[in-house]
Amino acid sequence: MSDLGDLFRRHLAQTSDAPIGLEIDRAQGCWLYTRDGHRYLDMIAGIGVSALGHGNSAVAEAIADQARRHLHVMAYGEYVIASQARLAARLCELLPQSLNRVYFTNSGAEAIEGAIKAARKFTRRRALAAFDGAYHGDTMGALALAGNPTFREPFEPLIAPILHLPYADERGLAAIDQSVAAVFIEPVQAEGGVRVPSRDFIAALRKRCDANGSLLAFDEVLTGFARTGRMFALEHFDVVPDIVVMAKALGGGLPLGAFAARDELIGVLAHDPPLGHITTFGGHPLSCAAGLAALEVIAAENLAERARSIGQYLRDRIESLAAPEIANVRGIGLLWGIDFRDADFAHRFAAAALERGIVINWTLNAETVIRLAPPLVISREEIDFAVDAMRAALRDARR
Ligand SMILES: Cc1ncc(COP(=O)(O)O)c(C=O)c1O
């Protein structure tokens, strides 16, 4: 192990017993370059963040320009910060018209927390609902919404009451009643095993929320910014949620989260008490500048359309592997899950793929599913490289 690897092992708090452990030297486009001279194709875009790949020059220039002007100058919400105001306005242009105000945070989980607080205060209700397989982040509120009890239980008591409903199953919606402040849902689940609900299910959910005066919050942390082939996944469903939560690709590679809602809903955070929901670094000028530059590239280069076409190519190539160990390939845009018949095989496959030079990812709440969500700018040649590596990895995993 190198000196740095040794420091990493000895002094960095670990999140598992088996970190991937690549020693990154630099990253460019869809590739990660390690200190030992190898390169790896990033088929997970840093878990959904690097939509433009690594080292995009427009983003780098926006960061440099903002860094020369100013970095942090005041806690969020007090001064007029150009990059923040412009990014908020641009997001409101792209979101459904009623979502006309944005609260910036540092991360996805924090944006979920803010959305929970706004929903409870606006409705004066306490209960929340979420779905099995859900992942909304790891702070105490977001974790309470998590669909997998294994991750919740060691940290209980979490906020309550929470209704955990079956995902994509209309029969479960009857449990939403007038005690529910808000229902949180990922319009497409990633950590839940890449699951795409039907339009009917989402329409029924909207209807049930309306009938009971419950708010509907879409967690677009992973699905936002063209990942599913639309700027926001909500566009697939013809439904307008009351709250949209964003993060990951929002910051163009820097930490940034946000939630958007209509004036009177998000406005409850400004009074009774004033300053009842504040953050020092939320909407950092540097993150907003990077995010705005990234968003302009995503829009100008129509990367949503690209996600659809190159995503279809990726899907067809995965299907061509025709591996008997694969039960199902499913997804949308450039977010695909390979569902294996056996969880151990899936894990061996992911490890073998890394050896073969591609980074892929298992999912937190579905042990048999491997996720593919590369940068939206990935080329056909790079996908061919990934598929060849996966073919070899399948062979390796069989041994
Ligand atoms: C759908 C979804 N929501 C929320 C989060 C939490 O975001 P963060 O890690 O920025 O707190 C994630 C992170 O993976 C996510 O995938």
pLDDT digits (tens, 9 = 90+) for 129-163: 999 999 999 999 999 999 999 999 999 999 999 99
Q: If you average pLDDT over residues 319-338, what whole number do you get?
A: 97
Contact 350, 336 (CB under 8 A): no
In ligand 1, the atom with minimum distance to the C-alpha of 220 is 1
- Residue 362 confidence class, pLDDT cut points 50, 70, 90: confident
| pLDDT > 70 in the chain, percent | 100
- Residue 361 confidence class, pLDDT cut points 50, 70, 90: confident
Residue recorded with tokens 């977001």: 142
Question: Can you give the pLDDT at residue 267?
Answer: 97
Q: If you average pLDDT over residues 318-343, what whole number do you get?
A: 97
- Residue 62 confidence class, pLDDT cut points 50, 70, 90: very high
Query: 58-300 maps to which CATH number?
Result: 3.40.640.10
Q: If you average pLDDT over residues 350-375, what whole number do you get?
A: 96
Question: Can you give the pLDDT at residue 1?
Answer: 72
pTM of the model: 0.98
pLDDT digits (tens, 9 = 90+) for 163-219: 999 999 999 999 999 999 999 999 999 999 999 999 999 999 999 999 999 999 999
Pocket test for ligand 1, best of 49, 131, 135 (most atoms within 8 A of CB): 135
Q: If you average pLDDT over residues 224-247, what whole number do you get?
A: 98
Task: Give residue 108 CA to ligand 1 midpoint distance, Å.
Answer: 5
Task: Give residue 124 CA to ligand 1 midpoint distance, Å.
Answer: 26
Task: Give residue 192 CA to ligand 1 midpoint distance, Å.
Answer: 12
Q: Which of 275, 133, 88, 127 is nearest to 209 (CA)?
A: 127
In angstroms, the CA 145 to CA 197 distance is: 18
- Residue 277 confidence class, pLDDT cut points 50, 70, 90: very high
Question: Can you give the pLDDT at residue 304?
Answer: 98
Closest Cα to atom 6, ligand 1: which residue? 137
Question: Can you give the pLDDT at residue 30?
Answer: 98
Buried b (16+ CB within 10 A) or exposed e, 30-53: bbbbeeeeeebbbbbbbebbbbbb
pLDDT digits (tens, 9 = 90+) for 365-378: 999 999 999 999 99
**101-105: strand order across its sheet:** 101-105, 257-261, 243-246, 215-219, 180-185, 127-131, 162-165
Residues with CB under 6 A from ligand 1: 47, 107-109, 135-137, 186, 190-191, 219, 221-222, 247, 257
Question: Can you give the pLDDT at residue 174?
Answer: 98
In angstroms, the CA 395 to CA 376 distance is: 28
Domain ranges of the chain: 3-55+302-398, 58-300
Q: If you average pLDDT over residues 236-265, what whole number do you get?
A: 98
DSSP bridge partners of 42: 359
Closest Cα to atom 7, ligand 1: which residue? 108
In angstroms, the CA 27 to CA 8 distance is: 19
Give 229's contacts (C-beta < 8 A, 6+ positions apart): 236, 304, 305, 307, 308, 311, 332, 333, 334
pLDDT digits (tens, 9 = 90+) for 81-123: 999 999 999 999 999 999 999 999 999 999 999 999 999 999 9
Closest Cα to atom 14, ligand 1: which residue? 137
Question: Can you give the pLDDT at residue 281?
Answer: 98
- Residue 61 confidence class, pLDDT cut points 50, 70, 90: very high
Pick the CATH number of 3-55+302-398 from 3.40.50.1820, 1.20.1090.10, 1.20.58.100, 3.90.1150.10: 3.90.1150.10
DSSP bridge partners of 157: none
Task: Give residue 246 CA to ligand 1 midpoint distance, Å.
Answer: 9
